Structures are given as C-alpha cells and as structure tokens.
Amino acid sequence: MINMEPKKIVDLPQELITEILLRLPVKILLRFRCVSKSWNSLISDDSHFATSHFQLSANKIFIIRDDTLVALSVDFDSSLNDYVSLSLNIWNPQSYIDDEIDTRIGGSCRGFLFIHNEVGLYLLNPSTRVHKQIPVSPMTIASYSQDSSIYRIIYGFGYDSSTDDYSVVLGFYNCNTNLLDFEIFSLRSNNWKQIVVGSHFPYILTAYHESEVGLFFNASIHWLIYNYETNREVIIAFHLKEMRMSEIALPDDFHMYSSVSGYDLFVFGGLIGVWIEDIYEIKIRVMKEYAVYSSWTETVSFSARPNPTFSSVCFTNCGDLVGSSGGGLAKFNDKGELLEERSYPDCFFERSQMTVYTESLLSLPDSSDQS
C-alpha cells in the first residue's frame, strides 16, 4: 500500500537558509520574495544580506548596441551560451530616434552601470532593473554650444565606502586653458560640483586607446592615457574620497611594442592589470602591490593572437580569456586554444559596447538620507 501522506517539510535553521540564499542568482531570489514575508524582507530590505550576496555573486558581461533599447547579459564564467536579453526601458522611448542616439557605457561599479546618451544620464542595475536618471551637468550643457571651447573626453563611475555614496565623474578638455576640468555628481547630495585637480594636466587620449571609460578599483577611478611631456602611456587615478589625482607608471616593456593594436585596464584576481595586443601576441600584466611600479608582473602571454578580430574583455575565475570576436564572444585558455565561441542575435557587435558587472541586489542611496 502506497503511503499518500504529505511529506513533512524540514524546518531548517534561519542561518542555514540565509547561507543557501546568499549563493543563488538574483533572478531566482527575486522570485523567492513571494515565499514568505520574512524572505521578502531579507531579499528586498536587508542591506547586510545584499552586501554579502554581492561579495559572492558572479560577474557578467553587459553588451549594448548604441542604437537599440535592448542589451545582453552573458554569464561568461558558466558558458557563453548562458545569456539573457534585457529591455532597457529606463528612458522615454518617444525621445529615442533610431540611429540618432549614441548610447554609451560610462562605467561599472558594485553591480550598477552608468549609461548615457543624448536623452539623459542613467544609473542601472541590470539584475534588478533598478535605475535612476541623474540631471545633466552644467558643463555638459555648456559643451553643447556651437562656440563652446570645452568637450567631454573621459567618464567614470565609482563608490566611496566611507560615505556610502556613488559618484559619476566627467572630465572635460578646455581648449582655452589646455587643462582638464572635472565635474562630479554625488547621489547623496543629488547635485553636481566642479573641482580642480591641479593646474598642470599633460594628458591626452591616443589613437591606440580611445576608450574614455574609467575603471573603478581600490576607491579610485583609473584611466589609461598618454602623457605628452614624458611621451609615455600612464595610468591616472582619481581618488573619490580625497578628490585628488595621481599617476601610476606602466611596466617598461609596455612602451616597447611597435605594432600595438589595442590595450586596456582590467581587474584580474583582485589586482589591477593591463592587457596589450599586437599582431604577434597578447600579454597580461598585473600590479601585485597597488601603485608600486616594481610589482608589475607578467601573468599570461599568448605566443600569437588567437584570432585576428579578437579583442580582450575579461578573465573567468578559471583564468580563461574572454573577448569579442567577429560577431560574438570567444573564450580561450592560457595556451591560446579555443574553448568556446558564440555569436549573438540582432548583429549586436556591429555597433556595440561591453563591460563587466557583478550581479547585485544592492540599491542606490537615497539623497534624502544624508549622514
């Protein structure tokens, strides 16, 4: 005779339930909010839970075309086939005029993306769809003038843990003074302020590296840029708490490449690093001790570029290299062997941008809750 009695549900300790939930993807956690009031409160309102979950979350690649309201999120650690489409309904579609809008990624920090176009400036959490529009900065408005002598050249987005505040940083080149003027938007104060980072700023972008997007790491936003006085590429770092700029030297052999096709900053194994591509090889350097020149170390070197159209993006937790390749993404091991390749719909890579972000339940601070 079959026992038809319902199975007894095991009453697990709350600590164990929390530990299990901390290891689940955001998409599943959002569904679990309806299980009980306590689960809903834990997932939706508990900032300590959100912070702990963020520290354990997976990294994803966010891909957006500059002329579409749709983006892709790819779980590159799992598989390049593991992706979802995201509808970006964060701005008014009536203001979006086909190919005339140039949507750009301005930075990534703690699960949030800074996205901007002619319609506006936005902060977006792709995992929860939480978003916020921020006002256009005064210098941005001034740069739209036909006779303006300033134009925006670099962007950044970061977080100051001492004040629990996010900041958007814009850098404008002033043709009259040959200096870089900075504007910073604080989410807590909900306003822009202009700052002076020094009377001497001998830096410009180059043809080899035209990316204006800064990398947030170690409480600072970093850019690769050219110092025209020393004739060398360098890293400049803007510290959000101290509001100061510093320069970090790159390894000597970085300047020895005669046929460089691309390079950029990235974070690898909790360290800031730089990848360099030329027609012969891809080299990866990381800085073992932050801002210490002698600590630059070579970690990976491919004897030849794995694909003529390949451009590095990030590393997996296993140390495999992921990058754009033709109309999609490709993954190679440290021997340069192809592990996986995937193309994506809607010709995403014709006019696309991409960045790495971390899945997050974190919310943006309320400007009315200033400490």
CA trace torsion 317, 25, 27, 364 (10° rounding): -80
| Whole-number pLDDT of residue 7 | 46
Lowest mean pLDDT among 25-39, 188-202, 257-271: 257-271
The pTM of the whole model exceeds 0.85: yes
pLDDT at 361 over 90: yes
Lowest mean pLDDT among 123-132, 172-181, 287-296, 336-345: 172-181
| Whole-number pLDDT of residue 208 | 57
| Whole-number pLDDT of residue 198 | 66
Cβ neighbors of 21 (< 8 A, separation 6 or more) are 29, 32, 39, 42, 43, 49, 53
Amino acid letter, residue 260: V
| Whole-number pLDDT of residue 305 | 61
| Whole-number pLDDT of residue 368 | 47
Provide mean pLDDT across the span 223-241: 90
Lowest mean pLDDT among 55-59, 239-243, 330-334: 330-334
| Whole-number pLDDT of residue 82 | 92
The residue with greater pLDDT, 210 or 205, is 205
pLDDT at 218 over 90: yes
Report the 3 state secondary structure along 16-36: HHHHHHCCCCHHHHHHHCCCC
What DSSP character marks residue 289?
Answer: S
| Whole-number pLDDT of residue 191 | 94
Lowest mean pLDDT among 106-120, 194-208, 268-282: 194-208
Query: What does the alpha-carbon distance between residue 190 and residue 186 come to, in Å, rounded to a whole number?
Result: 6
The residue with greater pLDDT, 180 or 131, is 131
pLDDT at 120 over 90: no
| Whole-number pLDDT of residue 319 | 82
pLDDT per residue over 1-38, tens digit each? 444 444 444 578 889 999 999 999 999 999 999 999 99
Sign, CA torsion 146/148/149/155: negative
What DSSP line would sit under 61-100, residue for residue?
EEEEETT-SEEEEE-TTT-TT-EEEEE--SS-GGG--GGG
| Whole-number pLDDT of residue 168 | 96
pLDDT at 138 over 60: yes
Closest CA to 352 of 330, 324, 332: 324
Query: Nearest 5 degrees, angle CA 154-CA 130-CA 26?
Result: 110
| Whole-number pLDDT of residue 282 | 79
Helix (H, G, I), strand (E, B) or coil at 213: strand
- The β-bridge relationship of strands 104-109 and 112-116 is antiparallel
**Is the separation of the CB atoms in 108 and 216 below 8 Å?**
yes
| Whole-number pLDDT of residue 371 | 39
Lowest mean pLDDT among 171-185, 199-213, 284-298, 315-329: 199-213
pLDDT per residue over 51-77, tens digit each? 999 999 999 999 887 666 778 899 999
| Whole-number pLDDT of residue 185 | 96
- The β-bridge relationship of strands 321-325 and 311-315 is antiparallel
